[in-house]
Amino acid sequence: MIGKLRGVVDSYSEDYLILDVHGVGYVVQCSSRTLQALPRPGEATVLAIETHVREDAIRLYGFLSDEERDWFRLLQTVQGVGAKVALAILGLGPIDALASAIVLQNKPAISRAPGVGPRLAARITAELKDKVPAGGSGDMAMAGGLATDDPLPGAPPAIQDAISALVNLGYGRPQASLAVAAAQRALGESAETQALIRRGLKELANA
């Protein structure tokens, strides 16, 4: 099995690149976000690799980090999520935004990925909400930066307002999102903004 490739970018296509490793061109499929982050043809790069072996083919999937590859594997534990859909979900944005969307049960954010309908988005958030790590600079939920000011479109206003309040107090948005998610689980879906803020602060203090 191939776990990592270091080489020179030969060329790009819509959903893959050819990586030249000592004269051998490997076809490596990647998410749109990963492809956008890679260097120009002729420049060197390193990719974490997931190898899928089938009766009729061997496919390589490339990632910017081991954490991204871990998410690729985790997403495919959900029924109905194959490699193509997992890459589409990873293409939505940074890992921390994805983790926050899952923890907060933000199904509309997940359903923006091609091939993910409302039912599959609901299954993904339901099955993975307790599998997202809750803290630590090295875990999957904290990796990377946010691509937009609003990584959780469709989240209830009380949640959005509580996250914004914690961010205004100086906390990072990923930490604030996870703290509010924990607060919502403890207080229930009907919890109001002020209650979520108070409980979120307590979660952050105990982190």
Sequence ranges of the chain with CATH classification 1.10.150.20: 67-148
* Fold classified for 156-207: Helicase, Ruva Protein; domain 3 (1.10.8)
For the entire predicted model, the pTM comes to 0.70
C-alpha 11/C-alpha 74 separation (Å) is 29
CATH superfamily of 67-148: 5' to 3' exonuclease, C-terminal subdomain (1.10.150.20)
Helix-helix angle 157-168:193-206, to 10 degrees: 50
The pair of structure tokens assigned to 37 is: 């982050």
C-alpha 76/C-alpha 37 separation (Å) is 23
Q: Does domain 4-64 bear CATH number 2.40.50.140?
A: yes
Sequence ranges of the chain with CATH classification 1.10.8: 156-207
- pLDDT tens per residue across all 207 residues of the chain: 899 999 999 999 999 999 999 999 999 999 999 999 999 999 999 999 999 998 888 999 999 999 999 999 999 999 999 999 999 999 998 887 888 788 778 888 899 999 999 999 999 999 998 787 544 333 333 333 333 344 455 567 888 889 889 988 988 777 788 788 888 888 887 889 999 999 999 888 876
